[in-house]
Amino acid sequence: MSQEQYWLPDFVSPTPRNQIRDADEQEQASILRKWFLWNYADPVDLCPYESKDGGYLYIWGGPYDAEEELFREFGDIVSEDIIGKVVRDVESHGCLEWSRNPDAREDAYLLDSIQANSQFHQTFSKSMENIEAMLEAKVGENLLQMLNGLLYVNVITAMETYLSDAFINTTLGDLELVRRLVESNPDFTHRNLRVTDIFQRFNRITDEVKAYLLEIIYHKLEKVSLMYKTTLEVAFPRDLGDIYRAIEKRHDIVHRSAYAKDGTTLSLNKADVKKLIEGVSAFINEIDRQIAQHPWKKV
């Protein structure tokens, strides 16, 4: 089944399928080429070579035929001539059998999921409502601690989802914000760049930003707060001590089976979860209020 929209290299927002259908032939060919070379790769770059059988081991799927894959995805909206032109182009360097690009597949899935959550504050609020409803579930005493722990972790997860989706959707939708992120973020300013690579890196900068943002752990609030401040001019509240401590508890619940570092068992009750919901909700509501004001845009 074909996608309804596509995240493509050098694009700061997804390209809808109907936009490809309505584009001129030159743009259609460019989009199809980018899509194919983002999703498929020469096996020499990805796959082990089995000398006994004399061929590549297609561990990521394949071999794939460029013509078949392009017709399967775009044959109903792009002419046969355009697809043929793209096939001749991508095969011009000698690769006729292709491997899937595993990084592109994972990134595309994540970006599609994030892009689908454009109502990130509404999604967060609904998550809080669901968690509060689950707090009223009737379970035995032997399961109550496990339920409270799971709901406690879910509050932090909902916070992460908001911080991730709000930042990625807002930043990738504005080239000026992409520039501000790159210019202000130490992870980019410390990357090496040779003069001979300037134009190649310029053409790929959006891809670098996408990949970078998908790797961020969004409960690392020190790093995320700096990104919000320098890119969006959104300031996190100063007093987040309770949330920092909750993140530490979340770590112990997820990675240490609810045991603290000193060996004691974490004990959480309904009031603890409700208190965290209130604190995280106040935090996210303040961030969302600032984003809604669009402080980076000129009036």
pLDDT tens string 27-74: 999 999 999 998 898 988 878 777 655 688 887 788 999 999 999 999
Indicate whether 243 belongs to any domain. yes
285, pLDDT greater than 90: yes
Mean pLDDT value across residues 159-187? 88
Indicate whether 226 belongs to any domain. yes
Better-scored residue on pLDDT, 18 or 262: 18
Indicate whether 111 belongs to any domain. no
Indicate whether 220 belongs to any domain. yes
- CA 134, 140, 143, 148 dihedral sign is positive
Percent of the chain surpassing pLDDT 90: 44
Domain boundary among 101, 129, 144: 101
Residue 32: the pLDDT is: 94
Instruction: Provide the β-strand partners of residue 55.
Output: 50
299, pLDDT greater than 50: no
Q: Tell me if 181 sits within 8 A of 231, measured CB to CB.
A: yes
Mean pLDDT value across residues 165-187? 86
Indicate whether 138 belongs to any domain. yes
254, pLDDT greater than 90: no
Mean pLDDT value across residues 71-84? 93
Mean pLDDT value across residues 233-244? 93
Strand segments (E) across 38-156: 40-41, 49-50, 55-56, 99-100
Do 244 and 275 fall within a single domain?
yes
Number of structural domains (the chain) is: 2
Strand segments (E) across 107-248: none
CA distance 69 to 98: 10
Indicate whether 232 belongs to any domain. yes
Do 83 and 225 fall within a single domain?
no
Do 207 and 258 fall within a single domain?
yes
Residue 28: the pLDDT is: 94
Phi, psi of 11 (to 5 degrees): -105, 135
Residue 179: the pLDDT is: 87
243, pLDDT greater than 90: yes
Q: Which of 71-75, 156-160, 255-259 has the lowest mean pLDDT?
A: 255-259
Percent of the chain surpassing pLDDT 70: 82
Mean pLDDT value across residues 159-165? 93
Do 201 and 231 fall within a single domain?
yes
Do 144 and 284 fall within a single domain?
yes
Q: 22: which 2 tokens?
A: 């309505």
- Unique residue bearing structure tokens 């959104």: 234
**Arithmetic mean of pLDDT over the chain:** 83
Do 24 and 76 fall within a single domain?
yes
**Closest-CA residue to 87 (of 103, 77, 101, 75):** 75
Do 60 and 162 fall within a single domain?
no
- Most confident by average pLDDT, 106-120, 135-149, 190-204, 251-265: 135-149
Domain of 237, in residue numbers: 117-292
Q: 201: which 2 tokens?
A: 């890196």
199, pLDDT greater than 90: no
CA distance 74 to 21: 9
Domain boundary among 101, 136, 157: 101
Q: Tell me if 204 sits within 8 A of 11, measured CB to CB.
A: no
Q: Which of 91-95, 122-126, 251-255 has the lowest mean pLDDT?
A: 251-255
Better-scored residue on pLDDT, 153 or 15: 153
Do 71 and 191 fall within a single domain?
no
Do 67 and 131 fall within a single domain?
no
Domain boundary among 74, 101, 128: 101
Do 90 and 130 fall within a single domain?
no
Residue 246: the pLDDT is: 94
